[in-house]
Amino acid sequence: MFDSSDGLLLIRAVRESIRTFLESRTIVIPSALSSDVRFEQKRGCFVTLKNADVGNTLRGCIGFPEPVYKLAKALSEAAVYAATEDPRFPPIELSELDSLLIEVSVLTKPVRIDVEEQSELPEKIEVGKDGLVMKWSQGSGLLLPQVATEYHWNAEEFLENLGLKSGSHSKQWLVPGTSVYKFQAQVFQELAPNGKVVPATD
């Protein structure tokens, strides 16, 4: 849907959405998104904010796993929520925005991984390409494809950490009745705040 030259457009639009909200407390869709027909499609997306420190530590990450909104709306809202509503972190301040790295992930629709035995799940996962969603009777969780790459997880470790993210234990993926879905993402990230943008995935 997007090529490497679109990364800068996406990152700038996300940063503009955050800046506008911090200045006016209003969520506004940037013109770069509202004027481009590609953003009329309904797509899931995530916006990730990181500190520009040695480990690029997480500062906020929120998004929409399912394609419930047009991408222009989904990106703008995910950007604002990642900056102000992630319960793991205090809301960012306007003075902090230009020191943060931004990463944007545009998702395909999650598809359930069908297996006869839960133990077969790792064989169906391509680490570095697939993101995962887990749903069980008391919770759910999502991990983007780039997370497994960043932590050097294999498929089984990916599933174990997904279980923890979903509010359960590391072996939840082996429990009958647990559903695991996979999706792919186009990911663009800044190498420096307000700097060069590169694709993080093919």
All domains of the chain in start order, with CATH: 4-108+185-199 (3.30.700.20), 111-183 (3.30.1490.150)
User: To which residue do tokens 């993926």 refer?
Assistant: 173
Per the DSSP assignment, residues forming a β-bridge with 45 are 64, 106
Q: What three-state secondary structure class fits 156? A: helix
**C-alpha radius of gyration, the chain, whole number:** 17
Question: How would you classify the pairing of strands 131-136 and 179-183?
Answer: antiparallel
Does residue 135 register a pLDDT over 90? yes
Does residue 202 register a pLDDT over 60? no
User: To which residue do tokens 């993080």 refer?
Assistant: 200
| Residue 201 or 36, more confident | 36
Q: What is the pLDDT of residues 63-118, one digit of tens each?
A: 999 999 999 999 999 999 999 999 999 999 999 999 999 999 999 999 999 999 99
What is residue 1's predicted lDDT score, i.e. its pLDDT? 80
What is residue 102's predicted lDDT score, i.e. its pLDDT? 98
- DSSP class of residue 92 equals P
What is residue 182's predicted lDDT score, i.e. its pLDDT? 97
Average pLDDT rounded to a whole number, residues 38-62: 96
H runs (alpha helix) in 27-182: 31-34, 71-84, 94-97, 145-150, 155-165
What is residue 201's predicted lDDT score, i.e. its pLDDT? 59
Question: How far is Cα 93 from Cα 105, in angstroms, rounded to an integer?
Answer: 23
Opening angle at CA 79, ends 73 and 85, nearest 5: 115
Q: What is the pLDDT of residues 143-185, one digit of tens each?
A: 999 999 999 999 999 999 999 999 999 999 999 999 999 999 9
